[in-house]
Structures are given as structure tokens and as C-alpha cells.
Amino acid sequence: MKDKYEELKGQARKALENAYSPYSNIKIGAAVLGASGKIYTGANIENASFGATICAERTAIVKAVSEKEQNISAIAITGDISDYAFPCGICRQVMSEFMQKDALIFVSGNNREWKQFLLEELLPHSFDFYASKKED
């Protein structure tokens, strides 16, 4: 599995080339590993109407889900930034919809060093629609 994670990280770094970021000039690339073993990539896509911007993580997840891959086991995120490319809050919540709490999240930046986390570490109390509907 280690080789698959290295491939995932490499695909995330390659996805940086596809970023469209004329406003922030920050490029982010992401790659998700589906339960099937297939890797899906995404890059951030900015918009003049900033609310229409989509992060690389969500681009990769949407690509996977649109191909019927609804169980994601890992994600790698990297950027052309000096710090690590951690996912924003919206992306963390979207991850919780398609990833288990023990799913792996790899983050990197310009230094090319990778840190590894579990989804539960980055989003310990995610919103759960069905749990919110339970009656006491």
C-alpha cells in the first residue's frame, strides 16, 4: 500500500499544473484514492466571484463521486506555498461525507515533505445529518 500512497502524492503534485488561480496565484493540487484503487486528481479553480471558487480537494472528490467512487480511503494535498496545504473547513466537511474517520490525509507544501493525519484528527466533530435527526 505504501507504493500506492507514493503514487497518490505524486499525482497530487502533478495536479498543481492544472490549477487556475489568477487571483491568489496559489496553486493547490489534490489526489484521492478510491476504495477501488483508482486515483482521481483535482486542482483549485478560482473565479472572480470568490464564492464560486472550488478547492482542489473538492474538485478531486467530485470527480471521484461523479465516476461512482463514493468511498475514498486517502487524499494527498499539496501546494506551491511555504506551509503545508491543509484543507479548509468546507473541504474537511465534504471529506467526512465520503471518507471514514480513519482515512489518511497527506499534506505537503513547497518543502516537499509530507505530514500524515487521520480525518478524525483534522475534523474531530464533523456534522452528521442523520445523527442530527436522532431523537433522544
Lowest mean pLDDT segment, chosen from 51-55, 111-115, 124-128: 124-128
Q: Which helix (H) or strand (E) holds 28?
A: strand 28-34
Q: How far is CA 102 from the centre of its chain?
A: 15
Q: How far apart are CA 99 and CA 120, in angstroms?
A: 10
Per-residue pLDDT tens over the stretch 90-104: 999 999 999 999 999
Domain ranges of the chain: 2-118
Per-residue pLDDT at 127: 81
Per-residue pLDDT tens over the stretch 32-41: 999 999 999 9
Q: Is the pTM value of this prediction over 0.75?
A: yes
Residue 46 known to be catalytic: no
Q: Could you tell me which residues are beta bridge partners of residue 26?
A: none
What would the mean pLDDT of 48-52 be, rounded to a whole number?
91
- Tell me which of 6, 7, 57, 121 is the catalytic residue: 57
75, burial (CB in 10 Å: exposed 0-12, middle 13-18, buried 19+): buried
Q: How far apart are CA 98 and CA 64, in angstroms?
A: 10
> Percent of the chain beyond pLDDT 70?
95
DSSP, residue by residue, 81-135: SSS--PPPHHHHHHHHHHEEEEEEEEE--TT---EEEEHHHH-TT---HHHHH--
CATH homologous superfamily, domain 2-118: Cytidine Deaminase, domain 2 (3.40.140.10)
Q: How far apart are CA 45 and CA 18, in angstroms?
A: 9
